Structure 1
Amino acid sequence: MTVRARVAYFVAYFFRSLLWSLNLLLGLYTCLAYWLLYKLPVEHWTAGMVMITLPVAWLLNLVLVFFWLTTRPWRSWLSGLVLMIGIVLFGPRTFVWHQPVELSGKGTPLKVFSYNVESFGLDSPWERYHSSPRVRRIVNYVLRYDAPIKCLQEFYISTSIPDYNVVRRMRQAGYSYSVLLHPELANAPDGPIGAAIFSIYPIIHSGRETFNGFNGLVWANIKVGNDTIRVINVHLHSMGIRVGRVLNQEELTGVKHETRGVLSALRTGFIERREEVAKVQRHIRESEFPVIVTGDHNDTPYSVVYERMRQTLPNSFEDAGRGFGFTYNRLPGFIRIDHQFHDPKLRILNFETINYISYSDHYPIVGTYQLK
């Protein structure tokens, strides 16, 4: 063996050994995320950081499986085993494929529509005081979608143009009952109302709780025939992920600044949402009726918020959804942060993420339930 060949051999050996060491660390990191998510032993924001990166850890493990299969096949067992454990533990919250279920017996079907409408675009002063095709399209879509209960987040109105007075138009469309997070702004020329519930069925009791500005929850006890259910519409603290801002930076200093901003926003978001979800759980416990929780939770299925809600109520996507169910219409895109959870007494017939409607930075979600 020549000197050159020996050097090449030792360099390749060194990097393979280094990669195997990193593979071991990645396996331990992934198992740590499993333990934190499955047991929730701690709910510190650092634990949230580990849990939310679980899909990235899966992707790296998958890459390593293919790499070792082409070089040292026996080493692929580690990442392969880690991925198999993840499929067993967390497969249903990642990918499912259910077919719609037919209504059975004499039950009543109930469709609950939920959509973060991104202010309808009315947070822009120009859009607010000028007729805009973009605004009219999303408003008309929300008005015309066939669902008796509609839950909206980042709900915004402007009375300066009749088409933008969405509260009045919803009532004209038959949604005579409503609960608004900021009802005092219902007739304002500039109305950031926040979360809202609209129903064609009578609302016999309701309430609201503001977290911060747009964020908060509204709930309504809705009488559907002889049944009564409680619908809770939530909008939790923003994730603060602004990947586009990081990628648009041309200098390294700008990338560092934006990255620090994203990490700081993630930390604040983990802390705020952990406190907010406790308030949501309190409203669930206080209800004497079956509960449906819907809205923009701003957290992925690998989070404290999701696991706490999942331990309280079954998740509608996991029980009746299809595919990955991604709901965020911006970078990084491949995340599901809008959820519905339902009382076990309510049979879930179908759950749909309407991912061909791209008017907002979120996709609408719709759950269909059977009332007994």
Structure 2
Amino acid sequence: MNKFIFFLNIIAALLLLFSCLVPHISLYSISFLFVFSLAVPYLVVVNIMFLMYWLLKLRTQFWLSFAVLLLGYFSLGTFFIFFEPTPAPAEESVSVLTFNTQSFRGNSRENNPQLSDSIVKFIKEENADIVCFQEFDYSKIRSNDFKQYPFKYVNFKFGVNSGKVIQAIYSKFQIINKGSLDFPKSGNNALFADVIIQTDTIRVYNLHLQSLRVRPGSIRSEESQKLLERLGNSFVKQQEQAEIVLEHGNTTTYKKIICGDFNNSQYSSVYYDIKGDMKDTFMEMGSGYGRTYNFKFLPLRIDFILVDEQMEVLAHKNYDVKMSDHFPVMASIKF
């Protein structure tokens, strides 16, 4: 019996070990590898269970999972932060909030005025200095809902259908330059805005990478082969879009803040490529799972705030408010 259990243990350990390599492998040639980036939390839990089993049995086989878990921790980081850091004093800090609002409709395809009002109220109460919206409601452009933000950039023009997901950057600070990257052959895109904060100019990116369009219902109804093929193509597009963002970011000397919905986890090559030497505010000052997407049985963290390595992260907060299929995220930063 123990031999069979150890055989299963070896498979789980090898899968987790391989997952450690996935962020450093291009998805262009082997697109199915995206499965491993999503499965890391499960593989960690399974290996912990094997570790505990062998420890209770007082068997030396525990070293296998222990070694792989240790390697995974140092190469991938943790998906769960046990201790909640103490936020630093907010003096001279700038708060940044990112939120995929699903067009202010929540999980419904129909307009829900009550839910829309809840999102507006939430943004007003949190009162962040900069807000990055993905899947924005264009009707808010001409409203007074966000009048506390005198500066904004929305990739939408009335009377023009660009075919792109509507996004927005709202700011209390002056925007001196702005633009859209318009990913090719995709409805997704990225915005940027150069913002004057104190005596410095910061470039803020708002990303919405290629959507996977995965829902629990679609997984059950779609053929596995077609599902894997579709997801693999989406991950390849994400890789292309990440490179567009990186190339664009290299054209400026400004410090950068990158926010948005990456549609991929922190264990993906897409995340690693975009992050580079930047700080992940959750890893700096977050706690718990950091879940940002409401997906059954899987605590996915796919919405991020990344800041220049010269910036100090004072606080990070994941909100547990069900106003969309995503959860908002906010961080406080000191320059």
AA aligned to 1:210 is: D
Structure 2 Cα separation of the partners of residues 89 and 71 of structure 1: 29
For normalisation by structure 1, the TM-score amounts to: 0.80
- Return the match for 2:194 from 205, 217, 221: 221
C-alpha distance 152-177 of structure 1, shift in aligned 2 (>3 A) = same
Equivalent position of 1:315 in the other structure:
280
What percentage of aligned pairs have identical amino acids? 25
Aligned-pair CA distance for 1:152: 0.1
Query: How far 1:126 moved relative to its partner?
Result: 4.8
Contact residue 155 and residue 192 of structure 1 kept, 8 A: no
Q: What pairs up with 1:30-179 in 2 under 5 angstroms?
A: 30-37=16-23, 40-43=24-27, 44-71=30-57, 73-92=59-78, 94-95=80-81, 97-103=84-90, 108-121=92-105, 126-127=110-111, 132-157=113-138, 165-169=139-143, 173-179=147-153
Which residue of structure 2 lines up, in the alignment, with residue 5 of structure 1?
Answer: none
The letter of the residue matching 2:245 is V
**What CA deviation, in whole Å up to 9, does each residue of 1:19-46 have, x standing for no partner?**
3223223322222222333xx1443313
Retained in 1: the 8 A contact 2:106–2:324?
no
The CA deviation at 1:326 is 0.8
For residues 192-271 of structure 1, the aligned pairs below 5 Å read: 194-211=166-183, 214-246=187-219, 254=221, 257-271=222-236
Alignment CA distance shift 1:244-1:334 (3 Å): farther
Give the C-alpha shift of residue 94 in structure 1.
4.3
Compare CA radii of gyration and give the structure with the larger one: 1
Pairs aligned (count): 331
1:296 corresponds to 2:261? yes
Structure 2 contact 132–168 (Cα < 8 Å) conserved: yes
- 1:305-358 per-residue CA deviation (whole Å, 9 max, x = no partner) reads 111123242212111222221111232441100001111222211111112x11
Q: 1:367 aligns with which of 316, 331, 334?
A: 331
Secondary structure at 2:266 match in 1: coil
Question: Which structure has more RCO (C-alpha within 8 Å, separation ≥ 6)?
Answer: 2
After TM superposition, give the deviation of residue 217 of structure 1 in Å: 0.5
Please tell me whether residue 349 in structure 1 is matched to residue 314 in structure 2: yes
Could you tell me how far 1:85 is from its partner in structure 2?
Answer: 2.2
- List runs of 5+ in structure 1 lacking aligned partners: 1-11, 158-164
- Conserved? CA contact 1:230–1:291, under 8 Å: yes
For the residues of structure 1 that align with 2:32 and 2:169, how far apart are their CA atoms? 34
Q: Give the CA RMSD over aligned residues.
A: 2.8
Q: Secondary structure at the match of 1:147?
A: coil
CA contact (8 A) 1:242 1:331 kept: no
Deviations 1:177-235 (A, max 9, x none): 21122x213x789x975211011211101110222565111000011232211110000
1:330 aligns with: 295
| Equivalent in the alignment of 1:18 | 4
**Residue 284 of structure 1: which of 242, 249, 257 is its match?**
249
Partner Cα separation in structure 1 for residue 36 and residue 298 of structure 2? 19
Q: Matched residue of 2:214: which SS?
A: coil
Q: Which of these residues, 176, 184, 187, is aligned with residue 157 of structure 2? A: 184
Deviation at 1:364, TM superposition (A): 0.5
> Is the alpha carbon distance of 1:363 and 1:41 closer, same or farther for their aligned partners in structure 2, counting shifts above 3 Å?
closer
Query: Match of 1:325, SS?
Result: coil
TM-score, normalised with respect to structure 2: 0.88
2:282–2:290: 8 Å Cα contact kept in structure 1? yes
Are 2:12 and 2:47, in contact at CA under 8 Å, matched by a contact in 1? yes
Query: For 1:144 and 1:72, how far apart are their aligned partners in 2?
Result: 54
Provide structure 2 residue ranges, at least 5 long, that are not aligned to the other structure. none
Q: Could you tell me whether the CA contact under 8 Å between 2:132 and 2:259 is conserved in 1? A: yes
